[in-house]
Amino acid sequence: MSPRREQGLVRPYVVTNGRSEPSRNTFDLVTLVSGVPDRPLQGLTPEQRRLVALVSRGSLSLAEVAAHLRLPVSVTKVLLGDLVDSGHVLTRAAIPRAQLPASQLLQEVLDGLRARL
């Protein structure tokens, strides 16, 4: 748990311990992030704990995770890479493998939008 986060107090290099390179380069703004239940939190930094806590109840896109944590996307990616490595979170590519052809995906988008009218 954290108090209302004070912006700019803890600088990003302390958050990542000086690292700028995520352990994997597959993350995108709409990479879907979800938590793995019942993983011990020892050894996690406060921000990593917050990230794990955030996605412990459901999935969010990376953009949403960064926004909720109020961290730059690039910094969030570094934290996320570590947490995927340690098995605390799972990520899913925005568009899974074996996705239907582009036209079909677009059609699905169109149907979804039309259904809202």
Asked whether position 3 contacts another protein by CB under 8 A, the answer is yes
Q: Could you say whether residue 23 binds another protein (CB under 8 A)?
A: no
- Reading the block at residue 20, the tokens are 């700028």
**Which of 48, 77, 79, 86 touches another protein (CB under 8 A)?**
77
User: Is residue 40 a contact residue for another protein (CB under 8 A)?
Assistant: no
- CB count within 10 Å of CB 94 equals 13
Can residue 85 be called a binding residue for another protein (CB under 8 A)?
no
For residues 79 and 47, is the Cβ–Cβ distance under 8 A?
yes
CA distance 99 to 87: 26
Residue of the chain from 52, 79, 80, 83 that contacts another protein (CB under 8 A): 52
